[in-house]
A = this chain, B = another copy of it.
């Protein structure tokens, strides 16, 4: 591993020994005279609840048959990924969520954990697998009933039926309720007529639609007896055995994309296509032969959200994949940053290792801290998902909480991945831009993660609305005394009871590590207070501004909401950040090894203070932090970076990636070898007495 390459240079770099190099900082825990973190224990903690599955999946994707090959044409890449999907079927790597009676394991948590690990092989492979089993297959499983399962699940699972998930339309992305496609019941023939009434209602961006899909789960407005019962899902065959569209079906290839070009995204349209009545996936709503509609969920709104809610696993997977892709990128960039040297340090004898630069630490270590937070938060999110889908804790409220959690965490981790992969690529300079070093490819592939499975801004707005409604519930039927108490801020900690990973009021203990006096006011409990207080006050401020709107006509009320949209999204982001911080803190508190706990606390502090620094103006304007304390936040962060610097390699090594996962020339040890060779050349040249003298040094004499 990279680790070995780093350590191999140590004999030549004794601290502050000009002959052997002139580091401006300690490079390792030993040099810093500090305990090392227990790398493998941290790996265990990061791999989380389904660590075993992750290890199995990582072992599987070491096989180069799963790896992305750069430079394939779109057509070749698509064929390769299709064949990789068959390989996944053979290895049983992606069917853990399906019921045992169909050959699955009925294990939702493990399924996502294993799926997430595919990202290091090729995100195209991952997402095409997600389309097939996580969306298309999952729609049949979650929205269909036994007849559908018996008929289609085996073929879906073994890839005899590659399928598309036809929800999004060219004219309707995040607003699924407004899709234009219709499914009108014809009682004379007992068929649904699937129809695309206009161009904007073409289904679009669907994986498997351009080439490989022979069927699709199509979302359409269910109309029977002159009534539109809202969006339902239908199983619709697409192509015949020769790969030609069936009558009435047409489509287009979406062509080249910014990434994920191993997936054949495309468009579909339907011209009065008839499917049997029983092709309605009828778990939540059914139509009898005579056209009578029935559902055990009477509210059309709640029915719609229940159906959509079964598809939350897409967001869970993207959250984990984004967090781990960030880890992959940082492993590459920090390993390289620990080997590459640039510019003389001022000592005149050697060049500085990139990771020793204050700015380089700021760029990479802050993102390392956020990556840890995102990974820990993902594991808690996955536990919640597993509890709901296994039925262990599956009330309406649980499902609603899970949705909110998904909507809060997926945006943060997917944006973080793009930011981190870009910063990592820039931190590696020209090398970072080469495909052989993985960063640009990963970033390109993950780009769309921020807008698919729910546009990030739309998701955060949902979180914001949930926060507002939780806030409002607090006052329903409250008596004057409790309102007054609230106004005094006494119960503020309990306002948001449902939307988080845990109760807001739940104590998160300070870890009591020694700290300088200026930092004393920025320890764990103060970080929590600042982060949680910000969410509460933002929501309460927005609620205050929206209150008058309840008396306005709908259109004007919408305008008032619109004026607060941007800030509501910020409040939701603050909520998500708090969840990440809490998950990180819980993980730190679970740590038993002292040295590890010490270092992880610094890293958690770096994450928390980074958030506080980002929002510092808000804290100042709202009187939550004094000017004096605010003034030290940035320098405290710089100091934390310096403290963490010797542990940087350990902290990325703890992600547990091996060369078969990294596959980046710059983090393979090649850079260290180049540096060693160059330094040896200059050393030998100096010893030989034949080195030219520099004109500069002659001038000085």
Known: A173-B342, A433-B448, A695-B227. A70 touches B255 (CB 8 A): yes
Whole-angstrom distance between the alpha carbons of A627 and B620 in the complex? 8
Contacts of A289 in B (CB 8 A): none
A390 within 8 A of B: no
Alpha-carbon separation in the docked complex, A253 to B258 (Å): 24
A156-208: which have CB < 8 Å to B? 168, 170-175, 178, 180, 197-201, 204-205
> Cβ of A457 < 8 Å from any Cβ of B?
yes
Does residue A621 face the partner (Cβ distance < 8 Å to B)?
Answer: yes
A–B complex contacts, Cβ < 8 Å, 18 sampled: A24-B562, A71-B73, A171-B341, A223-B692, A226-B693, A227-B694, A227-B698, A230-B694, A293-B695, A300-B694, A300-B695, A346-B555, A346-B558, A359-B457, A359-B565, A430-B451, A440-B447, A621-B631
Asked whether, in the complex, the Cβ of B347 is within 8 Å of the Cβ of A555, the reply is: yes
> Lowest 8 CB-CB distances: which A-B pairs, in order?
A258-B440, A346-B558, A616-B617, A256-B435, A228-B692, A200-B674, A358-B565, A617-B617
Known: A173-B429, A435-B255, A627-B621. A300 touches B451 (CB 8 A): no
Interface residues on A, range: 35 or more
Q: Is the CB of A18 within 8 A of B555?
A: yes
Set B230, B255, B299, B563: member contacting A71, Cβ < 8 A: B255
Determine, out of A109-117, A369-377, A675-683, the stretch whose residues face the partner at the interface: A675-683
A619-644 vs B, Cβ < 8 Å mask (1 yes, 0 no): 01101000100110010001000000
Chain B minimum-CB-distance residue to A699: B300
| Complex-state Cα separation, A418 to B178, whole angstroms | 33
Chain A contacts to B: CB under 8 angstroms = 16, 18, 22, 24, 70-71, 73-74, 168, 170-175, 178, 180, 197-201, 204-205, 221, 223, 226-230, 254-259, 293, 298-301, 340-348, 351, 356-359, 362, 418, 422, 425-426, 429-436, 439-441, 443-444, 447-448, 450-452, 455-457, 461, 554-555, 557-559, 561-567, 569, 613, 616-617, 620-621, 623, 627, 630-631, 634, 638, 673-675, 677-678, 681, 692-696, 698-699
Q: Kindly list chain B residues whose C-beta atoms are within 8 Å of the C-beta of A259.
A: 433, 440
B440 touches A681 (CB 8 A): no
Complex contacts, A436 vs chain B, CB 8 Å: 255-256
Known contacts A356-B562, A696-B301: A451-B434 contact under CB 8 Å:
no
Complex Cα spacing A586 to B73, Å: 49
Return A269 CB to nearest CB of chain B, in Å.
13
Q: Which of B180, B357, B559 contacts A565 (CB 8 A)?
A: B357
> Given contacts A357-B565, A359-B569, A555-B18, are A171 and B674 in contact (CB under 8 A)?
yes
From A429, A441, A623, name the one whose CB has the most chain B CB atoms within 10 angstroms: A429
Least distance between A421 CB and chain B CB atoms (Å) = 10
- A562–B70 touching, CB < 8 Å: no
Chain B hits for A258, CB < 8 A: 425, 433-435, 439-441, 443-444
Which partner residue on chain B sits nearest A685 by CB separation? B197
Q: What is the bound-complex CA distance between A699 and B299, given in angstroms?
A: 8
Asked if B71 contacts A71 (CB within 8 A), the reply is: no
**Given the complex of chains A and B, what is the CA–CA distance between A268 and B404 in angstroms?**
54
- Of chain B, the residue at the smallest CB distance from A569 is B359
By a CB distance below 8 angstroms, the chain B residues around A340 are 171
Minimal Cβ-Cβ distance residue in B for A341: B171
A557 nearest CB neighbor, chain B only: B346
Q: How many whole Å from A513's CB to the nearest CB in chain B?
A: 23
Alpha-carbon separation in the docked complex, A320 to B613 (Å): 33
CA distance in complex: A298, B254 (Å): 62
**Chain B residue with the shortest CB-CB distance to A452:** B430
* Minimal beta-carbon separation of A412 from chain B (angstroms): 15
